[in-house]
Structure 1
Amino acid sequence: MTSAFLSALGGRIAERWLAALALPGLLFLAACTTAMVLGHEHWYDVERLGAWLDTLAASPASRSAGTITLVATGVLAGAAVAGAAAQALGAGVELLWCAEPHGPVLRYLADRRSRRWHEADAVFRTALVAAGRARIEGADGADRLTDIAERRHAERDRISSAPPRHPFGMGDRLAAPAQRLWRARRLDLAAAWPYLWLLAADGTRAELQAARTRLSASARLCAWGVGYLVLALWWWPATLAGGVAVASGVWRGRAAAEAFAELTEALADLHVRDVAASLGVECEGVGDRALGERLTRLLRKETEAS
């Protein structure tokens, strides 16, 4: 039974390694080989690539089992190295998405997003006032002005649902649950999170872990895209693959961050009283803000004592 379990576990690990690292790494190595053989000058010459492969297959070394084994091992090792590099770069991309505005570049990006948001907010408020005045006065264009105000609201929310503080939108979205819970309940999400996680159902944890995994996978896809964009210095068609990968990674990352933030906030809303009951904090007849303040004081004290 133990050997069966170990075999199944090894199979899952090998399958995940093949999907996450080896296959994208092999594809990247194939693109690198194509770039080396064709270059910019012969970027479209498929026959040139076929002739190079035929020459390679006709060489005496290709008939040696030892040589084939060494080449296969080297290719797999190269794919694994490329995959590990993409994974490390993906972790850096993920940190960048959630970074605080430290340094001149990140501060500039955060300030730029803040200016855009406040400009969009001013336009939305102007449109809202105009729509409200038209409705009060019974003007004929009230419905049209209301539609305009709704569009301006959507344009503002595409930047951020609240005044932005991070250089990138995903950082604001992931930080939003903690900010909202603090404003609404005076609950410190960072202090309460381990307790919320322990009380969460298995299905809820699986959903959160899946959203978190999708966020990491999106960052890793952006990292592969960066690799292809670098490869475009030698073979320009790699620009297309790199651009698509980066754009897709950013889009998927936004969706994953949105899902993770919504699940996090929902988990806190559903189980904050369960945390209080588990810790012996009286919550019957206590308002949300008062309960949140009690829990925050208790949890921070326990954190500091530990």
Structure 2
Amino acid sequence: MTSAFLSALGGRIAERWLAALALPGLLFLTAATAATLLGHEHWSDLERLRDWVDTLSDSPAARSAGTVVLVALGVLAGAAATGAAAQALGTGVELLWCAEPHGPVLRYLADRRSRRWRVADAAFRTALVAAGRARIEGAAEADRLADVAERRYADRARIASAPPRHPFRMGDRLSGPAQRLWQAYRLDLTAAWPHLWLLAADGTRAELQAARLRLTASARLCAWGLGYLVLAVWWWPAALAGGVAVTSGVLRGRAAADAFAELTEALADLHVRDLAAALNVEYEGRDDRVLGERLTRLLRKESGDP
């Protein structure tokens, strides 16, 4: 039974390694080889590639089984190394998405988003006032002005749901639940999160973990896209693959960040009183903010009555 378990575990590890590192790495190495051999001038010359493959296959080394095995192992090792580099770069992309506005570049991006949000917010408020006035006066164009206000609201929401603080949308989206929970309950989500996690059902944890893994996978996809954009310096068709990968990674990352943030906030909303009960904090008849403050003091290990 132990050998069957180890065999199954090894199969799963090999499958994940193949999917996460080897296959994307082999594809990238293939594109890099094409970029090296073809370049911009012969970007679509398949005959050139075929001649190169024929030359390799006709060489004396190709008839040696040992050489073939060594080359295959070298290619797999190169693919794995390329995949590991993409994973590391993906971690950097993920950290960049959630970065605080430190440094001149990130501060500029955060200030730019903030300015855009204020302009969109002013346009929405102006349209909302115009629509409300038209509705009160019974004007014929009230419905049209209401539609305009909805579009202005959507324009503002595409930037951020609240005044942005981060250089990128995903940073604001992921930090949003902590801000809203503090405003609603005076609950410190950072201090409360490990306890809320332990109270969550297995299905809820699985959903959160899946959303978190999707965010990581999206950042890794962006990393692969950046690698292909670098190859485009030598072979322009790689720019198509790189552009698609980066765009898809950003869109998937936004969806994953939205899902993770919504699930995080929902978990806290549903279990804040369960947390109070588990920590023996009385909450009957208490205002949510009073309860949140007592929980925050307790979880931060601050002095005072819990």
Tell me the TM-score range normalised by the shorter chain: over 0.9
Does 2:42 correspond to 1:38? no
Does 2:97 correspond to 1:97? yes
Secondary structure of the 1:301 match is coil
Q: Give the equivalent residue in structure 2 for 1:162.
A: 162
Q: Give the equivalent residue in structure 2 for 1:136.
A: 136
Q: Give the equivalent residue in structure 2 for 1:59.
A: 59
**C-alpha separation between the residues in 2 aligned to 1:265 and 1:254?**
16
**Residues 68 and 131 of structure 1: is their aligned pair in 2 closer, same or farther, counting only changes over 3 Å?**
same
Sequence identity, in percent? Answer: 83
Count of equivalent residues: 303
**C-alpha separation between the residues in 1 aligned to 2:283 and 2:294?**
10
**C-alpha separation between the residues in 2 aligned to 1:88 and 1:40?**
29
Q: Could you give the per-residue CA deviations for residues 258-302 of structure 1, whole angstroms, max 9, x where no partner exists?
A: 000000000000111111101100122222111111100100117
Q: Give the equivalent residue in structure 2 for 1:243.
A: 243
Aligned AA (2:295): L
Aligned AA (2:274): D
Aligned AA (2:153): H
Aligned AA (1:43): W
**C-alpha separation between the residues in 1 aligned to 2:21 and 2:268?**
35
Single out whichever of 248-257 and 31-40 deviates more from structure 2.
31-40
Q: Which stretches of structure 1, 4 residues or longer, exceed 6 Å deviation after superposition?
A: none
**C-alpha separation between the residues in 2 aligned to 1:275 and 1:16?**
37
Q: Give the equivalent residue in structure 2 for 1:196.
A: 196
Q: Give the equivalent residue in structure 1 for 2:18.
A: 18
Aligned AA (1:133): R
Q: Could you give the per-residue CA deviations for residues 132-173 of structure 1, whole angstroms, max 9, x where no partner exists?
A: 111111111111101100110010000000000000000000
- Give the C-alpha shift of residue 5 in structure 1: 1.2
Structure 2: runs of 5 or more not aligned: none
Secondary structure of the 1:163 match is coil
**C-alpha separation between the residues in 2 aligned to 1:20 and 1:302?**
44
Aligned AA (1:266): A
**C-alpha separation between the residues in 2 aligned to 1:84 and 1:168?**
25
Aligned AA (1:73): L
Q: Could you give the per-residue CA deviations for residues 12-39 of structure 1, whole angstroms, max 9, x where no partner exists?
A: 1111111111100000000011111111
- Give the C-alpha shift of residue 8 in structure 1: 1.1
Q: Give the equivalent residue in structure 1 for 2:120.
A: 120
**C-alpha separation between the residues in 2 aligned to 1:150 and 1:50?**
57
Q: Could you give the per-residue CA deviations for residues 192-242 of structure 1, whole angstroms, max 9, x where no partner exists?
A: 000000111111111000000000000000000010011111111100010
Single out whichever of 137-146 and 99-108 deviates more from structure 2.
137-146
Does 2:211 correspond to 1:211? yes
Q: Give the equivalent residue in structure 2 for 1:178.
A: 178
**Residues 81 and 192 of structure 1: is their aligned pair in 2 closer, same or farther, counting only changes over 3 Å?**
same
Q: Give the equivalent residue in structure 1 for 2:108.
A: 108
Q: Give the equivalent residue in structure 1 for 2:28.
A: 28
**C-alpha separation between the residues in 2 aligned to 1:58 and 1:94?**
46
Does 2:260 correspond to 1:260? yes
Across the aligned residues of Structure 1 and Structure 2, the Cα RMSD in angstroms comes to 1.0
Question: TM-score when scaled to structure 2?
Answer: 0.98
